[in-house]
Structure formats: C-alpha cells, structure tokens
Amino acid sequence: MAQDQTSGIDEAIRAAGGVEGLGDALGCAHSSVVRWRQRGRVPADRVVAIESATGVPRDRLRPDLYAQPARPGMAEAQAPFVAEARSLGLDPERIAEAALRTAVSDEKARRWAEENREAIAAHNAWVEEHGVILAKYRMF
C-alpha cells in the first residue's frame, strides 16, 4: 500500500512542479513535503488540499482512506438489462457495440477539438479579419 501512496505523492510533487511548488501551493514548509514523501504517507488533513492544488485524486494519495469500492465488471452489471432487452426482442450486443463506438468517437472528437482549440481560434480570427480564401470563386 505504501507503494501506491508514494507514487501518489510523487505524482502530486510532479504536478506542482517539485517539492517547493507543492509546499508553496499548500502554504507549508518544503521539508514537510519531503517528510511525507520519505514516509510514503500524506497526512489525512492535507489530502483534500493536495488534490485541489494538483489534481491528483485523493484515492491515489491515501488509498487507505479513500479507496473506491470494487465495481462489478461490465458483464455482471449489465446482466439484468441484457435479459430484459432480449425479452423485448432487442439485440443487446449490437446496442452495446453501437453505444461504445459512439462514445469513443465522441470522446476522440472532443479531445481533438480541445488539443487544437488555439489553432481553430486563430484560423477563425483570420477568416473573420480577411474573409474566406478565394471567396469570389465560390459557387455557393
């Protein structure tokens, strides 16, 4: 368990730009952060502040306090719906495949738009200022 906690504090230190950055973000001595790292344990009263400052989830910082309960696998969780869908004449495998395909496609599009937000904004600003390239030749 200490392995997970150490990797969580290491992740928080990296996210904050180093030991000094995390100490400054929390308003505490840098030596305190070093001690937490050496001990492999973040004090319980600092977990939420570290999560807020770095974005590292609390269950990564202190899994002993914030461990997520085990979730059933997708097949087990969906079993009642599969039976009901079949009783209604639906094909649950086809529906699940289509839903996953759509979700993956939507997430890829969202990430692409986010990654290219600045370029898209720059292009739109250029078009706004100069107009569409070769607009006089457009037939629509």
Mind listing the pLDDT tens digit for each residue in 9-40? 999 999 999 999 999 999 999 999 999 999 88
Please check whether residue 138 lies inside any domain of the structure.
Answer: no
Instruction: Answer whether 8's CB lies under 8 Å from 61's CB.
Output: yes
Helix (H, G, I), strand (E, B), or coil: what is residue 55?
coil
Instruction: Answer whether 108's CB lies under 8 Å from 100's CB.
Output: no
pTM to 2 decimal places: 0.47
Return the percent helix, strand and coil in the chain, to nearest 5. Answer: 75, 0, 25
Please check whether residue 135 lies inside any domain of the structure.
Answer: no
Highest mean pLDDT among 91-95, 111-115, 128-132: 111-115
In this prediction, residue 52 carries a pLDDT of: 93
Please check whether residue 36 lies inside any domain of the structure.
Answer: yes
Last residue of some domain: 28, 46, 66? Answer: 66
Both tokens assigned to 73: 């696998």
| Among candidate residues 51, 73, 72, the one with its CA nearest the CA of residue 61 | 51
Q: Is 62 found in the same domain as 18?
A: yes
Instruction: Answer whether 62's CB lies under 8 Å from 5's CB.
Output: yes
Please check whether residue 26 lies inside any domain of the structure.
Answer: yes
Res 1 pLDDT > 60: no
Give the separation between CA 54 and CA 115, rounded to whole angstroms. Answer: 21
Give the separation between CA 72 and CA 79, rounded to whole angstroms. Answer: 11
In this prediction, residue 6 carries a pLDDT of: 55
Q: Is 53 found in the same domain as 11?
A: yes
Over range 70-96, report the average pLDDT.
Answer: 87
Q: Is 61 found in the same domain as 8?
A: yes
Please check whether residue 137 lies inside any domain of the structure.
Answer: no
Q: Is 56 found in the same domain as 6?
A: yes
Q: Which residue segment(s) compose the domain that 110 sits in?
A: 74-130
Give the separation between CA 40 and CA 54, rounded to whole angstroms. Answer: 17
Res 3 pLDDT > 60: no
Query: CATH number, domain at 14?
Result: 1.10.260.40
Q: Give the count of domains, the chain.
A: 2
